[in-house]
Structure 1
Amino acid sequence: MKIRWAKQEELTGIVRDFSKMIAHNSQLLIENVRTEYRVLRVGKEVFFPVTINHTEWENSFVCAPYAAYTAYAKEEIKWNINHKTVRAILILLVNAISGWLKRGMLNKNVHVNNFLMTTNPYPEWNGKEIAEITSFIKTQYPQHAIIFRSLNDYQHRHLLQLFQKNKYENVGSRQVYIFDLTKKAWLKHRNNKHDNKLIEKKGLHFINHQEMKAYLPQALELYRDLYLKKYSVLNPQLTLKYFKEVHQTGIINFHGYIDKNKILKAFSGQFTLDKTITSPIVGYDVSAPQKEGLYIHAAQLALLNKFDQGLLLNLSSGAPSFKRMRGGQASIEYSAIYLKHLPLKRRLPWKVLQFISNKIGVPLIKKYKL
């Protein structure tokens, strides 16, 4: 099986559109992402977007593991761990190793299948070319770790096993929520019936993808208020250019709700790859009272799209109780990382992270149902 870098004219579908958009200057689209971009061709039909990084310490975690395992990890600990002693110990641990991780060049890596989204869905792929892909990238980038992010044990158990057989380290990262049920089964959950009544009562006007074009500047503000101001500046700092281009090409399918004054109150943008839907862009008026249920409006847009298409929905992490009570199946997400070709001083930080993540982080995630 021949593995090589693809030419732009060979690409099709979403990978083609994404490549045209991102190839020249990633920071015009995502302000905190500096990366080199290429596409890996695997056989005749599989194309993987690939990002290559070296240091870029200020990058978003979508291509910078250092950010994911230091600053962003501390923020997630503060949000999710209520036990003061456990929280203090974990933050102390992250602070203690952060400098060492930086010296270990954690950001010197090649991410395969990276759409620069918080959750990267995978195409239908059986993984039989893992060894050949690894060999090819090692030849091209002999000093870089090789990373496949966003693998969860609900959808990708077979792939995770194959990566291990090919000497990859599977490092736990977070818990995501998978919706893989019929609409009939979904409606049996009492909370979903309550949500439907609330949405009907509020009487906001639904707008489709085409109608959302006029509301993209408002959507960007809602996204930034939620992801960057409320949560973390380490989330992708998307620009209006990004919103316009993913809308125009259809890479992301937008839906929203506006009020009687034509103000956008909630929206969701869904990204679909083969049999998986994700919702990488969400926003709602965070200043509104919780009783308005605007998060419910936004989340349900992705669910309704899932039922329309008959596909599986990966609704990512966050709001764990909300998602569980509405039919979400909890699943641990991993990154598969190849390090065998690197010197010991580069492998050790990853080994320590693997131990902390798999032996401490994942059990805590399961215990606290995060």
Structure 2
Amino acid sequence: MATLTFEPSGIRDDYARAYLSPMMRAGTREFVANVHARLGVVQGDGFALPIAFDFERGDSYVVSPLSHYVGYGAEELSKLGRPRVEATLRSVLKSVGSGLEASGFDEVVSVNNWLLSTNLWPPLSTSEVRDVLEALVATFPNRPILFRSLDLARNALTFGALSSLGCVPLFSRVVHYQDPRRADFWHVRQLREDERRVRKVPAELVTTFTDDDLARVKVLYDDLYLRKYSTFNPQFTVAFLRNARDEGLLDLRGWRVDGELVAAWGAFVRSGVMTVPVFGYDTAASKKLALYRLSSLEVSRRARERGLLVNASGGVGAFKKARSGVTTVEFNLVFTRHLPWRRRLAWSALGRFLDRVAVPIILHGEY
């Protein structure tokens, strides 16, 4: 039987307690600056799924469906390189966004939400999925229940169980899996070329981080993910990184060149899968250092060392596919059957827009 807790002392899983307790006590904004949310945990024997709710307008897409599908989506349009299509879609998104906001679209309960771009799922039985959904609906009878970050490559059983219970899949993004555990993974020409190039880079691997190092990690991440890409990405604070280091919540690694930290990443590991929500490098450094290649290669090496599959998340699809990346579609699944039809309408409209307009364009591109 699944139960909910909103108190740190009620969290049974050690990892979840260490990760979530500081945020529950001090508030999420102290750890992810653009997330204003209340947290809880739905848990059963052998699993603990964080839940997030009561967001604010303009919060990061990791909690806000409105930011995910409208705010971030509008920013992504510039990548199409098709001005007329971009202008049309921007107008459509603006109209869709106004309707969604008026409907209270962000008043959801977001499930398995670690406040990260990629949320890794534990294996759940059909009965466990049913128990989780029933417990959430009983506690939040007036809110849509949104299950984040599921795909058919890794989460087929959970995906199928949720679908059978009436949850509707909504396109989220394209993600890529890499399996460095396989010997043939390392035979790909691009990876061999990466290994050849990075042998020439005078970089020192970093596995121990001081507080000053963590401040530098934040700068590197911010320069890449916030300034180059989007401020809708999660804005991690030094407090988040410090707790991750002190509690061993992220596998932190980096590179120094001439004594300066020039690249760093933090891997989130659950249920035999690794993903890297914290990643940054000195974008002004010489291209001869090949910092992105260097760091990506080390992520794969670390995954091989630990016997882990890599969810390489979204973005730079051509780069990842050239390095044995296998593409799949990630979904959010929403349950609204317990709500009045007017509340359900907004989600139905979004699903139609995604399926008929957004998804064909996205899948045609290199994401």
For Structure 1 versus Structure 2, the TM-score category normalised by the shorter chain is over 0.9
The answer to whether the 8 Å contact 2:121/2:155 transfers is no
The answer to whether the 8 Å contact 1:246/1:252 transfers is yes
Q: Could you tell me which residue of structure 2 aligns to residue 337 of structure 1?
A: 334
More displaced 10-residue stretch of structure 1: 327-336 or 120-129: 120-129
Q: Distance between the aligned counterparts of 1:183 and 1:105, measured in 2?
A: 46
Equivalent AA in structure 1 for residue 225 of structure 2: Y
Q: Percent identity?
A: 25
Q: Could you tell me which residue of structure 2 aligns to residue 174 of structure 1?
A: 173
Say yes or no: does 1:195 pair with 2:197. no
Q: Distance between the aligned counterparts of 2:22 and 2:355, measured in 1?
A: 36
Say yes or no: does 1:258 pair with 2:256. yes
Say yes or no: does 1:124 pair with 2:123. yes
Find the partner of 1:281 among 268, 278, 281: 278
Q: Distance between the aligned counterparts of 1:164 and 1:125, measured in 2?
A: 14
Say yes or no: does 1:3 pair with 2:39. no
Q: Distance between the aligned counterparts of 1:363 and 1:287, measured in 2?
A: 35
| Structure 1 gap ranges (5+) | none
Find the partner of 2:28 among 26, 51, 59: 26
Change (3 A) 1:287 1:27: same
| Structure 2 gap ranges (5+) | none
Equivalent AA in structure 2 for residue 250 of structure 1: G
Change (3 A) 1:33 1:48: same
Equivalent AA in structure 2 for residue 223 of structure 1: Y
Question: Shift of residue 56 of structure 1?
Answer: 0.9
Q: Distance between the aligned counterparts of 2:242 and 2:11, measured in 1?
A: 25
Question: Shift of residue 6 of structure 1?
Answer: 7.3
Change (3 A) 1:28 1:96: same
Say yes or no: does 1:56 pair with 2:53. no
Question: Shift of residue 369 of structure 1?
Answer: 3.3
Question: Shift of residue 89 of structure 1?
Answer: 2.3
Q: Could you tell me which residue of structure 1 aligns to residue 156 of structure 2?
A: 157
The answer to whether the 8 Å contact 2:178/2:326 transfers is yes
Find the partner of 2:241 among 236, 240, 243: 243
Q: Could you tell me which residue of structure 1 aligns to residue 346 of structure 2?
A: 349
Say yes or no: does 1:267 pair with 2:267. no
Instruction: Note the alpha carbon deviations across 1:184-237, whole angstroms, 9 max, x for none.
Output: 2122111111111221111211111x2465511111100011111111111111
Equivalent AA in structure 2 for residue 41 of structure 1: Q
Instruction: Note the alpha carbon deviations across 1:299-357, whole angstroms, 9 max, x for none.
Output: 22221121111111101001111000001110100001001112222211111111122
Calculate the TM-score normalised by the size of structure 1: 0.94
Change (3 A) 1:320 1:2: closer
Q: Distance between the aligned counterparts of 1:2 and 1:254, measured in 2?
A: 32
Instruction: Note the alpha carbon deviations across 1:220-264, whole angstroms, 9 max, x for none.
Output: 10001111111111111111111111111111111111101x111
Equivalent AA in structure 2 for residue 57 of structure 1: R
Change (3 A) 1:172 1:341: same
Superposed, which structure 2 residues align to 1:187-226 within 5 Å?
Answer: 187-208=186-207, 210-211=208-209, 214-226=212-224
Instruction: Note the alpha carbon deviations across 1:61-106, whole angstroms, 9 max, x for none.
Output: 1111011111100111213x12333322222211121111101111
Q: Distance between the aligned counterparts of 1:128 and 1:50, measured in 2?
A: 19
Say yes or no: does 1:328 pair with 2:329. no
Equivalent AA in structure 1 for residue 255 of structure 2: Y
Question: Shift of residue 148 of structure 1?
Answer: 0.7
Calculate the TM-score normalised by the size of structure 2: 0.95
The answer to whether the 8 Å contact 1:212/1:255 transfers is no
More displaced 10-residue stretch of structure 1: 171-180 or 342-351: 342-351
Find the partner of 2:304 among 301, 304, 307: 307
**Equivalent residue of 1:129, what SS?**
helix
Q: Distance between the aligned counterparts of 1:166 and 1:366, measured in 2?
A: 28
The answer to whether the 8 Å contact 1:222/1:283 transfers is yes
